[in-house]
Amino acid sequence: MVVLPLVTLVLHGALAGLFYAFSMSVMPGLNAVEPAQAEAAMRSVNRKILNPWLYVAFLGAPLAALAAGLLTGNVWFYAAAGVNFAGSFLVTVAVNVPMNNAINAGTMPWKDYSPRWTGWNTLRAVASFASLVLVGIGLTGL
């Protein structure tokens, strides 16, 4: 009964770490080079990040939290699923992916892309860490 909640914790931690790393190191690093270089690097990142490991964490975290809530009846897992869905999934689909598509298409310059994308990504990191904490609280009740 504790395996699924532990997997949920790991998935939330992986997702929070990914978003945190982008806001705290990847984007500042890209901001330190010429905009054309940053755009080219981000296009490469956008291609490479779309892989099964991303989907396991990105889709798996809220689904695992929901399943853990159903399995245990613990409301903290439901809360984690909701926070993750709203703060990570919806923000990604509504904001970050369209911006990635724009940078990939060359229709948004780096100076417009980077601060806005980083701000929304930081929100995803905060939401992911909040959902990680909620999963942790849920684990203490098992």
From CA 55, how far away is CA 27, in angstroms rounded? 21
- Asked whether the whole model's pTM tops 0.85, one would answer yes
H runs (alpha helix) in 73-109: 75-84, 91, 97-105
Q: To 5 degrees, how large is the angle CA 98–CA 44–CA 104?
A: 35
For position 142, what pLDDT does the model report? 75
What would the two tokens of residue 129 be? 């860490």
Give how many domains the chain has, as a whole number: 1
8-state DSSP, 106: T
Q: What is the pLDDT of residue 35?
A: 98
Domain holding 95, by residue range, is 3-140
pLDDT score for 126:
98
The pLDDT of residue 1: 76
State residue 30's pLDDT score: 98
Are 46 and 103 contacting, i.e. CB atoms less than 8 angstroms apart?
Answer: yes
Closest CA to 12 of 76, 73, 75, 80: 80
Low-confidence ranges of the chain (pLDDT < 50): none
Distance CA(58)–CA(76), nearest Å, equals 19
> Is the Cβ–Cβ distance between 142 and 74 less than 8 Å?
yes
pLDDT value, residue 57: 97
What are the residues whose beta carbons fall under 8 Å from the beta carbon of 107, sequence distance 6 or more? none
